[in-house]
Amino acid sequence: MTDHEAPVLTRVETGVGRITLNRPRAIHALNKAMCDAMIAALLAWREDDRVRAVLIDHAGERGFCAGGDIRMIAASGAGDATEARAFFHAEYRLNHLLVVYPKPVVSIVDGIVMGGGVGISEPAAVRIATERTTYAMPETGIGLFPDVGGGWFLPRLPGETGTWLALTGARLKAADTVALGIHTHFVRSERIEDLKSELLQDADPQAVADRFAEDAGPAPHLPLREAIDRLFAHDRVEDILAALSAEGSDWAAGQLEILRSKSPQSLKVTLRQLRLGRSLKSFAANMAMEYRLGGRVVRTHDFQEGVRAVIVDKDNAPKWSPASVEAVDDATIDALFAPLDSGDEWTPLPDVADP
């Protein structure tokens, strides 16, 4: 495989370490080799005085990153999940390395950014969205949960917007993502190449982004904030559903219908993940929790069925089991969150610790 064909391109240009996702036909879906390549580059640049900042972007125009390689994960989960766990272990180490990275990181999410794409862009100090950006964490629709740090990032968004996004998989454009702090700047796509050129010349990525930034416009979610914060504040999915049902508005009815289409088990896993993640003291602790979940959830009926319905057969008619939130018992959820044997737990990269 030539450099041009490699799924990740890494190089240093005028003092900037550049990571370019290079699987455009797959919307840069992540696999373990891609994670390993990014980790190797970041570790090499960490102590290199010639590298003052890191820029993460993507080739092509379809989007930044649509997530992980779900087909591989599902195939592995149908067996013993060894390959899936190895991918999660590497991906979560990459997420953690980016969170604690000692040099400024810039991510440019010009297009679709979901799942694994959020995990490698959200840790950046400068996160640039464009008019083509579409952000979502849609995992409950395939029987999964919002991993790659979702248990850390989402509960720390304003109010209960993270809970709403995680449970419903709502898709946001740049006006909303910038208003919520998911992304730090809005820059029109036609100006992105000029912005990159300046990043290669200026030692201050924040200042460059500030110069190019424009108003993203009014955020559509803002008029809904009071309802989101009130209706999604409950600690039981059943209570959220009941609150939405009693609300009486068209918007609440729409959210209820969306939630009723998601995996009941995933809704319960996700809500507990977010509530636990909100109280954790370190990103590493959150990733250890998500690793326990990941290796187990991919082997469940709902994940296998969700991938079949949404990605393989595309009939969008998953048959969840249990079929209702009320039928998902606490013991099942407890088992998914239980600690692993000490030698099987997730750990950060050696010499990469939380500050």
Catalytic residue among 17, 77, 115, 116: 116
The pLDDT value recorded for residue 1 is: 40
In the residue annotation, 250 being an active-site residue is answered as no
Catalytic residue among 63, 68, 162, 306: 68
Cα separation of 186 and 195, whole Å? 12
In a structure prediction context, what are the per-residue pLDDT tens digits for the chain, which is 355 residues long?
A: 445 689 999 999 999 999 999 999 999 999 999 999 999 999 999 999 999 999 999 999 889 999 999 999 999 999 999 999 999 999 999 999 999 999 999 999 999 999 999 999 999 999 999 999 999 999 999 999 999 999 999 999 999 999 999 999 999 999 999 999 999 999 999 999 999 999 999 889 999 999 999 999 999 999 999 999 999 999 999 999 999 999 999 999 999 999 999 999 999 999 999 999 999 999 999 999 999 999 999 999 999 999 999 999 999 999 999 999 999 999 999 999 999 998 999 999 999 877 6
Task: Report CA 164 to chain centroid distance, whole Å.
Answer: 15
Catalytic residue among 110, 147, 176, 290: 147
Closest by CA to 166, choosing from 110, 227, 118, is 118
Three-state secondary structure string covering the chain: CCCCCCCEEEEEECCEEEEEECCHHHCCCECHHHHHHHHHHHHHHHCCCCCCEEEEEECCCCEEECCECHHHHHHHHCCCCHHHHHHHHHHHHHHHHHHHCCCCEEEEECCEEECHHHHHHCCCCEEEECCCCEEECCHHHHCCCCCCCHHHHHHHCCCCHHHHHHHHCCCECHHHHHHHCCCCEECCHHHHHHHHHHHCCCCCHHHHHHHHCCCCCCCCCHHHHHHHHHHCCCCCHHHHHHHHHHHCCHHHHHHHHHHHHCCHHHHHHHHHHHHHHHHCCCHHHHHHHHHHHHHHHCCCHHHHHHHHHHHHCCCCCCCCCCCCHHHCCHHHHHHHHCCCCHHHCCCCCCCCCCC
Catalytic residue among 83, 139, 160, 290: 139
In the residue annotation, 204 being an active-site residue is answered as no
Closest by CA to 290, choosing from 109, 153, 113, 136, is 153
64 close to 112: Cβ distance less than 8 angstroms: yes
pTM greater than 0.85 (yes/no):
yes
- Which domains does the chain possess? 8-344 (3.90.226.10)
In the residue annotation, 110 being an active-site residue is answered as no
Could you tell me the two tokens for 148?
């790659």
Q: Give the CA angle between residues 277, 205, 181 to the nearest 5°.
A: 35
The pLDDT value recorded for residue 228 is: 98
In the residue annotation, 68 being an active-site residue is answered as yes
